[in-house]
Structure 1
Amino acid sequence: MKHLKSLFKDQYNPDNFFLIAGPCVVEDEALLVKVAEKVSAICKRLAIPYIFKASYRKANRTSIHSFTGVGDVEGLDLLQKMGQQFNLPVTTDIHSAAEAAMAAAYVDVLQIPAFLCRQTDILLAAAETGKVVNVKKGQFVSGEAMKFAVEKVKGAGNDKVMLTERGTTFGYQDLVVDYRNIPIMRHHGVPVIMDCTHSLQQPNQSSGVTGGNPQMISTIAKAAIATGADGLFIETHPDPANAKSDGANMLHLDHLEALLEQLVKIRQVIKA
């Protein structure tokens, strides 16, 4: 977990959890600025190390009609600009081995989507960039089995690995969170993050647009901190109802501060 110190630099705070947050996808510069500015100010006040997140492109959409991005280079340029403007580490997901080196030129953390957590070529390509690699646990994978993803990244000479819990498939249109996975994955010797928004997705809707259950975000987040999560992943947007991707399970930006205040108090109790 030593790589967190170099990632966060002056933000580093081992006594608090860290936060990965931002809109699901790069929609435009104005949105990114609004979110980065507000969240970074909140996190600075609460001493929460913060990574800004947005996907430069969304490849895993249910419907062919879903919004996928503003363009690869355009999206990555905007992410890099947010990192520079607000002095924050930045992350985005990648969807193939070929994207790893390209995205690594713009961001600090490469995120591997849950559906791709077993794809050896993408894990090795991400590892070889030397960037921090955050692997999301597949909805079909146990916490124990994620040790193999860690071994692949470390075997490529990169020990900067994080794992993210994001729920387990339950039937066809729901997910459940098994909080045993947090301590189990921490035993792999890497930081563990709880994805508080995607774990509430309701996929495979007949409309072709994934549903969600955002009113449970605070419950997921509180339980994650109580069970020892090192970090939280929360997608947030100032107008989720009109977001271009995953609006059904994003937290309204106006609700983030009060939630983080509660979570810091829980963390303090756990650390006492």
Structure 2
Amino acid sequence: MNTVNIGSITVGAKNPIVLIAGPCVIEGLDRTLKIGKAIKEITTRLGIPYIFKASFDKANRSSYSSFRGPGLTEGLAMLSHIKKELDVPVVSDIHSSEQVSPAAEVLDILQIPAFLCRQTDLLNDAAKTGKVINVKKGQFLAPNDMKNVVAKIREAGNENILLTERGASFGYNNLVADMRSLPIMRSFGYPIVFDATHSVQLPGGAGTTSSGQREFVPYLTRAAVAVGVDALFMEVHDNPAEALSDGPNMLYIEQLEELLKDVQALDHVVRKHK
């Protein structure tokens, strides 16, 4: 099992589970930073390694009129400020090769969205930066298909790879998280991340927006940790009802600490089997 180093954080093997968390999209500097500070206070209290996430652009929205975020230039400036203020690594999505170079100057992890996970040029250009690459498995892919994604990144000379499970398409407007995919993808030799909040998303389930079932986030989180993941990806918000993207599947910050206590207890048991 290869480990991945992100600043002072080591992901993989028998290292403690890592939390990647933040709001879905940057909703202005003040509120986004407030959410990040609240999460860091919780993770610091519990001793959980923390990586901040928020998207500068949500290019894949259900409706043309949906909020996408501040965009590349302004968004990266905000993420740079948050990175310094919180003193934690940061991750955000990239959507095209043109975004790779400026994003790599700020981000510690370049994240490839699920619908773009097979885009060879994007994977190649991202990998050539030497940054950690987190690829979300497409909803349309079997877990074994991610071996080809890994091969593309390795071909560019990069071994700093994270693979994220976020559910598979199952009928209309629904996703199912198959826990078998976690050990399957981990067998490729790289750390595995479970996206606990997108896995309960109902894509397009509200017509012009996606819906979600946040009440199932704790169940899937505990299940994935029991299987043996190396990191958790969660989108959290102080008030998901006001969130500008993915509110129905985001977790309330006030629910986070108790869930993470369960996560730590399960991870402690499972880690010896990794």
With the length of structure 2 as denominator, give the TM-score of the two structures.
0.95
SS in structure 2 opposite 1:193? strand
- Map of 1:229-240 to 2, 5 A cutoff? 229-240=229-240
Within the alignment, does 1:219 sit opposite 2:223 as a pair? no
Residue 40 of structure 1 deviates from its aligned partner by 1.2
SS in structure 2 opposite 1:32? helix
SS in structure 1 opposite 2:6? helix
Residue 209 of structure 1 deviates from its aligned partner by 0.6
Aligned residue number for residue 114 of structure 1: 114
CA distance in 2: counterparts of 1:145 and 1:12, whole angstroms: 26
- Map of 1:170-189 to 2, 5 A cutoff? 170-189=170-189
Cα-to-partner distance string for 1:17-76 (whole Å, 9 max, x where unaligned):
101100000111111221111111211222211110000111001101100112321111
Residue 96 of structure 1 deviates from its aligned partner by 1.1
Aligned residue number for residue 54 of structure 2: 54
Within the alignment, does 1:127 sit opposite 2:130 as a pair? no
SS in structure 1 opposite 2:30? helix
CA distance in 1: counterparts of 2:95 and 2:6, whole angstroms: 23
Aligned residue number for residue 92 of structure 1: 92
CA distance in 2: counterparts of 1:202 and 1:55, whole angstroms: 19
CA distance in 2: counterparts of 1:154 and 1:78, whole angstroms: 31
CA distance in 1: counterparts of 2:73 and 2:83, whole angstroms: 15
Q: CA RMSD in A?
A: 1.4
Q: Which shifted more, 70-79 or 183-192?
A: 70-79
CA distance in 2: counterparts of 1:2 and 1:48, whole angstroms: 20
Aligned residue number for residue 6 of structure 2: 7
Q: Which shifted more, 203-212 or 55-64?
A: 203-212
Amino acid at match of 2:95: H
CA distance in 2: counterparts of 1:206 and 1:254, whole angstroms: 26
Q: Which shifted more, 44-53 or 184-193?
A: 44-53
- 5+ residue gaps, structure 2, are none
Retained in 2: the 8 A contact 1:43–1:49?
yes
Residue 235 of structure 1 deviates from its aligned partner by 0.2
- 5+ residue gaps, structure 1, are none
Aligned residue number for residue 190 of structure 2: 190
Cα-to-partner distance string for 1:201-238 (whole Å, 9 max, x where unaligned):
10123521100000000011000000011110000000
Residue 2 of structure 1 deviates from its aligned partner by 5.2
CA distance in 1: counterparts of 2:234 and 2:209, whole angstroms: 19
Retained in 1: the 8 A contact 2:239–2:252?
yes
Quick one: higher RCO (CA 8 Å, sep 6+), 1 or 2? 2
Within the alignment, does 1:249 sit opposite 2:259 as a pair? no
Aligned residue number for residue 31 of structure 1: 31
CA distance in 1: counterparts of 2:206 and 2:41, whole angstroms: 39
CA distance in 1: counterparts of 2:49 and 2:2, whole angstroms: 14
Retained in 2: the 8 A contact 1:143–1:181?
yes
Using the aligned pairs only, state the percent identity: 46
Retained in 1: the 8 A contact 2:146–2:185?
yes
Retained in 1: the 8 A contact 2:3–2:191?
no
SS in structure 2 opposite 1:254? helix
